[in-house]
Amino acid sequence: MGDTFGDSPTEPRHWRPQAGFVTQAFRPVLFDLVGTGRGSGWVRLSEGRTPPLRRTVLTTQQLASTDLKPRVTAGSTRTYMNPPCQRLLIALTLTAALYSQSATKRATHVAPIPIKVVVVTMFERGADTGDEPGEFQYWVERDHLDRIFPLPQAYHDLRMNRAGVLGMVTGMGTARAAASVMAVGLDPRFDLRHAYWLVAGIAGVDPADATLGSAAWATWVVDGDLAHEIDAREKPADWKTGYVPLRRSKPYEQPRLDTGSGEVYHLNPALVDWAFALTKDIALPDNDALRAERARFVDMPNAIRPPFVLKGDQLSASTFWHGKLMDQWANDWVAYHTDGAGNFVTSAMEDTGTLQSLTWLAKAGRVDVNRVLVLRTASNFDQPPPGVTAAESLAGTKIAKYVAYIPSLESAWRVGNAVVEELVKNWSKYRDTLPGAPQ
């Protein structure tokens, strides 16, 4: 018997050592575990020729004096394996098991769900259906967002319908909005590369531009939190405000710096124009309570009009501010950060957080930031009517207590849903070509 095994082309690939033989060294190769007629757990080499294996025949006395342990018992025959080989076989067995598990996962991988439209709302009052509505409820009930996707890493679970419309609730404030949108954007369950994003929520409105229940499509969204500030009681007499742009020394200092810190977002103007043209003639809800409230703003023609659809820009700040002087600041702040191109119309609390996350998700190839729309509908005026103080007006300005609370929710759904229906109905057209883009 020779002292090597497997050098001959005639040597079998499926092998089992003879009783008393001990492998002393061998080269590692790919392997499978197989069974034999008299035991199990032996290695079948499966790549190339069987490598040389050094073997030694040990006497009974020599076996007794070694650190060998029995591997398989079959009748009266025992086969032995030294400890290094035992450890290597265990390692190879674990590797094979992990490889098999990985292959199983690959085989059961589910392709991400292609999404056509993501509807972004900010709050819900209670349940998603059947009670007093928040911004989400009409979408869930009327667009049949019946399939629920748990999302524990964000504010609220997701809901989806069979047409490819996904609905979400961000939670109030820029921080929650940014975190929730990022969580959805990175969720591997969804393919969002062609999805349109529609922010649809309620807001305060400047009575100089619109009335209660109106719906405004924004082209510019300006952040109202990123700034320097000193108390207005300590400001120089020639300053209009104690609020100072980042990295500037006085209010509205020129030239304006583009710091890249997220002070302003410019949406796709062609998409905004398309959405406005599609929805500008939609009839919006009106009632006696709205008529009575807007009639108090006697010197503001747009305030006393029935609700209508318009294009108007937004100031996004986590502070719920109120009053005529704050409204003047909002107009100046939006004009400054857009170099005069933007016109403040609505005040909200989340959308710069949402847009920041979408901007970074676009850099990662997860979304297309040119497919984002922001729609806000007027639940309340951002200042009191003549003869009422700001404090008195603010005391009656609470969520779900706004005069136009329910009408503004209805307006958000009516106007926003017209866009969603058009995108879904003509998806073969809008999947690869943005509305309003040159043909």
Please tell me whether residues 385 and 274 are part of one structural domain.
yes
- Is the residue at 356 inside a domain? yes
Q: What's the CA gap between 79 and 72, in Å, rounded?
A: 6
Please tell me whether residues 77 and 131 are part of one structural domain.
no
- Is the residue at 246 inside a domain? no
Please tell me whether residues 330 and 368 are part of one structural domain.
yes
> Where a domain ends, among 107, 133, 149?
107
CA angle 256, 257, 263 (to 5 degrees): 95
How many C-beta atoms lie closer than 10 Å to residue 428's C-beta?
8
- Lowest mean pLDDT: which of 46-55, 158-167, 246-255, 293-302? 46-55
> Where a domain ends, among 90, 107, 124?
107
CA torsion angle 29 31 35 40 (round to 10):
60
Q: For the segment 363-381, what is each residue's pLDDT rounded down to a tens digit?
A: 999 999 999 999 999 999 9
Please tell me whether residues 212 and 321 are part of one structural domain.
yes
| pTM greater than 0.95 (yes/no) | no
- Is the residue at 47 inside a domain? yes
> Where a domain ends, among 107, 141, 176?
107
Please tell me whether residues 85 and 131 are part of one structural domain.
no
Q: Where do the DSSP E strands lie in 190-232?
A: 190-191, 196-205, 215-217, 220-223, 228-229
**401 band by pLDDT with thresholds 50, 70 and 90:** confident
Please tell me whether residues 203 and 59 are part of one structural domain.
no
Cα-flanking dihedrals φ and ψ of residue 86, to 5°? -60, -45
Report the b/e string of 212-247 with b at 16+ CB within 10 A.
Answer: bbbbbbbbbbbbbbbbeeeeeeebeeeeebbbbbee
Q: For the segment 283-323, what is each residue's pLDDT rounded down to a tens digit?
A: 999 999 999 999 999 999 999 999 999 999 999 999 999 99
User: Cis (ω within 30 of 0) for the bond into 51?
Assistant: no
- Is the residue at 250 inside a domain? no
- Is the residue at 243 inside a domain? no
42 half-sphere exposure, CB direction, 13 A CA radius: 19
Please tell me whether residues 304 and 361 are part of one structural domain.
yes
- Could you tell me the CATH number of the domain that includes residue 306? 3.40.50.1580
Please tell me whether residues 68 and 206 are part of one structural domain.
no
**Number of folded domains that form the chain:** 2
- Is the residue at 367 inside a domain? yes
Tell me: pLDDT of 438 over 60: yes
- Is the residue at 175 inside a domain? yes
pLDDT of the residue at 41: 41
Do 242 and 231 contact (CB within 8 A), yes or no?
yes
Rg from Cα positions in the chain: 35
Query: Residue 371: what residue type?
Result: R
Residue 212 belongs to domain spanning: 115-226+262-430
Please tell me whether residues 208 and 334 are part of one structural domain.
yes
